[in-house]
Structure 1
Amino acid sequence: MDLHYTEEEMAVREEVRVFVRDNLPEDIRTKVMSHQRIEKSDYVRWHRILTAHGWGAPSWPKEWGGTGWNHVQRMLFEIEIYSAGAPRQLPFGLTMIGPVLMKYASEEMKARFLPRIPAVDDFWCQGYSEPGAGSDLASLKTKAVRVGDKYIVNGQKTWTTMGHHADWIFCLVRTNAEAKPQEGISMLLIPMTTPGVTVRPINTLDHGYEVNETWFENVEVPVENLVGEENKGWTYAKYLLGHERTAIAGIGHCHRELRHLKRYAAESKDGRGRRMIDNPRMRDKIAKVERDLAVLEMMVLRVATQSEGQPGPEASIIKIRGSELQQDIAMLQQEVAGPHSRPFDQAWLKKGATIPVAGPQWAAGGTATYLDMRKTSIYGGSTEVQKNIINKMIIGF
């Protein structure tokens, strides 16, 4: 593959750089750069700014409001907006259910849901994992029984990220208990306001509230909210996971956090009073993650260009390396922060009114980021599951 960017690709990069500089609200930029918590309103506001400019769905085809950019242009877009301090674009609609609907949904369903995703007119969440079916989704037990023109849904989902904000959930349910596990699953789109849907918070290691338990008790869902065909949900689930795992690589996030890391290392001093960046061992560690990021970029581009929009088992390699790299960078940030890395303050993470501990401002939120990054090797399918996929589908053992 050609590793040089074309003039057209570089033009997109410069256009994005200028746009973000001039249009990203400063209060959102400050939160992101300070590792503070981003609110729902911040995400929605930024999505709508991008959508008004025609960039609300950078990976989508033009017919559904996308940009028509190639894979390289989309990656450069991601790098530039993240590096400038923009929050991530919410993946649940854009890179999860959106591509599934484009490929498998009826024209009526596409027209109903797709136009509302880029500007977050509908906020989506994912209903995959269950207490006994995390990475082993084929073991899911949430049941949907068809009664006339409705499905009656009963069961529980867990780790429902941002479910407390969501308007809709795309949900895997078992519609045939007699079939083989993978063959009896369907995908339903369920309004979160439907009677019988209950969302309960799960407090995470960083004292945050981002994930939830979601309960379904005799929830009535119209048959027209079935995606594609009944009992074909496993096919749709795998297609969605391929897109999710590629997105988990977090190229833009890594670029921004690597830039933070270099700045932190230039500002912080070790026990001898030397700048951390002047320590040869620290320079070696930073050089390693910078090298790994360059390799990951090339890997993402290679898989994207060869898959023609439908990521295969190679997405598992990207998922593993992206997860590891995000964790490596966060760990190095903690190492550079030294004694300032341990404590963090909830008031700071939410509002940033005061710096809670002595030391650099970035260290306060950095600990929460480090803790949050621990989960990247689990969600979207654990690292162990990804290695099994690679072993079976690529190596052939």
Structure 2
Amino acid sequence: MDLSFSADDLAFRDEVRDFLATALPKDVKDRFERGLHPTKEGQVRWHKILNEKGWVAPNWPKEYGGTGWTISQKYIAAHEFGQASAPQAMPFGVGMVAPVIYTFGTQAQKDKYLPRILNSDDWWCQGYSEPGSGSDLASLQTKAVRDGDHYIVNGQKIWTSFAQHADMIFCLVRTDSSVKAQEGISFLLIDMKTPGISIKPIYGLDKENSLNEVFFDDVRVPVENRIGEENKGWTYAKFLLGNERTGIARVARSKRQVVRLREISRVERSGAGTLAEDPDFIAKLARIEVDLMALEYTELRMLSMIANGKTLSAEPSLLKIKGTEIQQRLTELMVETLGMYGAPYEPERAYAGRNDGPAGPDYAHGPMADHLYLRAATIYGGSNEIQRNIVSKMVLGL
């Protein structure tokens, strides 16, 4: 197993660093580093910069606009993006639905949607989860009934990230209720401006509206917007979930958070000295760093396996479990580090029209929002309980 990078890889790393140092907008970087939700305008602007560079879709085949990078280059780029506090392109279009379209879609669907995804002309959201149908996705109840050249869709989706910004939604719907649950599902691409679609915001622990409920009331969707065969959507859904769960460990961003914690600890006071001199703080951060180092080497071992053509089993689940737990521990320690400035919190919209701002020093703006939002990290992308079931089945044979 070779965990080292070649001279070409290191030269590529320097190219990525130079690009990020000059091209990443300061406001986009600032929001990502603070853990605040992106604005649509900022995210689209950054997406278009990446697309102009040709780097917006590193995992796509080159024929559709991908970079042609090696597995090592993809890892290096992702790592440097995290270290530079640079967000990746919004995943719902580039990372999730696009691979489904270029793998299973018609030529007309590829020609229509892929260029628009590359250029961020369409903002996508994901219509999977439903009330009472989260981890058990196959139990979904949103129905699509064939009516000539259209489907009539009725039902509800929930936890739909950034649906309030979306132009399109990729949606799992039930087209046959008489067969096994997994065999009666179809995969539709739906224009969010279609009559009959309504959105209700969900405000999370961070009091921000990143999640939504989406309701479908006799929504007419052209049959030509169906991906692949009718009732074969479960196959495409599983394929998409495999793409969704890659990169979820977020090692590079966690390493950047460790650096920020060290910087802040040199300023914040603890007794007669700084927090950086406090034995309890030092021990807590050291435990996180050790676990993060182990996670990084686990990720590198997985990278080596992929590069050598080996088949993965439960490795992605392990990365998801440990990566999200470390993210949560980091945000907890960050809030604790801020002391009395960690607790005061209002959502960003609360400051509109006011002449004051968040309490405390500038670096105190963001950590509580990040901490509250990331309480969901062990749930989204497949809950950690489900991931542990996968590990127990595939590794231990239970």
Interval containing the TM-score (normalised by the shorter chain): over 0.9
Structure 1 residues 263-297: Cα deviation after superposition (integer angstroms, max 9, x where no partner): 12222222x13222222332232223223223323
**Larger CA deviation: 78-87 vs 260-269:** 78-87
Paired with 2:35 and 2:302, the residues of 1 have a C-alpha distance of 31
1:287 aligns with 2:286: yes
1:199, distance to aligned residue in structure 2 (A): 1.0
Q: 1:242–1:313: 8 Å Cα contact kept in structure 2? A: no
Q: 1:96–1:243: 8 Å Cα contact kept in structure 2? A: yes
**Larger CA deviation: 315-324 vs 82-91:** 82-91
1:2 corresponds to: 2
> Unaligned regions of 5+ residues in structure 2, if any?
none
1:300 aligns with 2:302: no
Residues 309 and 368 of structure 1: is their aligned pair in 2 closer, same or farther, counting only changes over 3 Å?
farther
CA RMSD of aligned residues (A): 2.2
Structure 1 length normalisation: TM-score? Answer: 0.93
Paired with 1:337 and 1:296, the residues of 2 have a C-alpha distance of 26
**Larger CA deviation: 229-238 vs 183-192:** 229-238
Structure 1 residues 69-93: Cα deviation after superposition (integer angstroms, max 9, x where no partner): 1222222212222322323421111
1:9, distance to aligned residue in structure 2 (A): 1.4
Q: 2:34–2:370: 8 Å Cα contact kept in structure 1? A: no
Q: 1:349–1:365: 8 Å Cα contact kept in structure 2? A: no
1:350, distance to aligned residue in structure 2 (A): 7.3
1:222 corresponds to: 222
2:359 corresponds to: 357
Paired with 1:309 and 1:112, the residues of 2 have a C-alpha distance of 35
Structure 2 length normalisation: TM-score? Answer: 0.93
Paired with 2:20 and 2:356, the residues of 1 have a C-alpha distance of 27
Instruction: Describe the SS at the equivalent of 1:262.
Output: helix
Structure 1 residues 20-70: Cα deviation after superposition (integer angstroms, max 9, x where no partner): 111112232233334444210000000101110111112222112111112
Q: 2:3–2:300: 8 Å Cα contact kept in structure 1? A: no
Paired with 1:91 and 1:73, the residues of 2 have a C-alpha distance of 19
1:140 corresponds to: 140
Instruction: Describe the SS at the equivalent of 2:246.
Output: helix
1:196 corresponds to: 196
1:59 corresponds to: 59
**Larger CA deviation: 316-325 vs 386-395:** 386-395
Q: 2:295–2:322: 8 Å Cα contact kept in structure 1? A: yes
1:211 corresponds to: 211
Paired with 1:309 and 1:378, the residues of 2 have a C-alpha distance of 28
Paired with 1:305 and 1:114, the residues of 2 have a C-alpha distance of 30
Q: Matched residue pairs, number?
A: 395
Instruction: Describe the SS at the equivalent of 2:193.
Output: coil
1:176 corresponds to: 176
Structure 1 residues 185-242: Cα deviation after superposition (integer angstroms, max 9, x where no partner): 1111111111111111111111101110000111111111111121111121112112
Residues 335 and 302 of structure 1: is their aligned pair in 2 closer, same or farther, counting only changes over 3 Å?
same
Residues 353 and 380 of structure 1: is their aligned pair in 2 closer, same or farther, counting only changes over 3 Å?
farther
2:396 corresponds to: 395
Residues 191 and 311 of structure 1: is their aligned pair in 2 closer, same or farther, counting only changes over 3 Å?
farther
> Unaligned regions of 5+ residues in structure 1, if any?
none
Paired with 2:350 and 2:83, the residues of 1 have a C-alpha distance of 20
> What letter corresponds to residue 336 of structure 2 in structure 1?
E
Paired with 2:227 and 2:57, the residues of 1 have a C-alpha distance of 21
1:93 aligns with 2:93: yes
> What letter corresponds to residue 241 of structure 1 in structure 2?
L
Q: 2:168–2:192: 8 Å Cα contact kept in structure 1? A: yes
1:183, distance to aligned residue in structure 2 (A): 1.4
> What letter corresponds to residue 39 of structure 1 in structure 2?
T
2:322 corresponds to: 321
1:29 corresponds to: 29
Paired with 1:316 and 1:128, the residues of 2 have a C-alpha distance of 20
Paired with 1:79 and 1:395, the residues of 2 have a C-alpha distance of 31
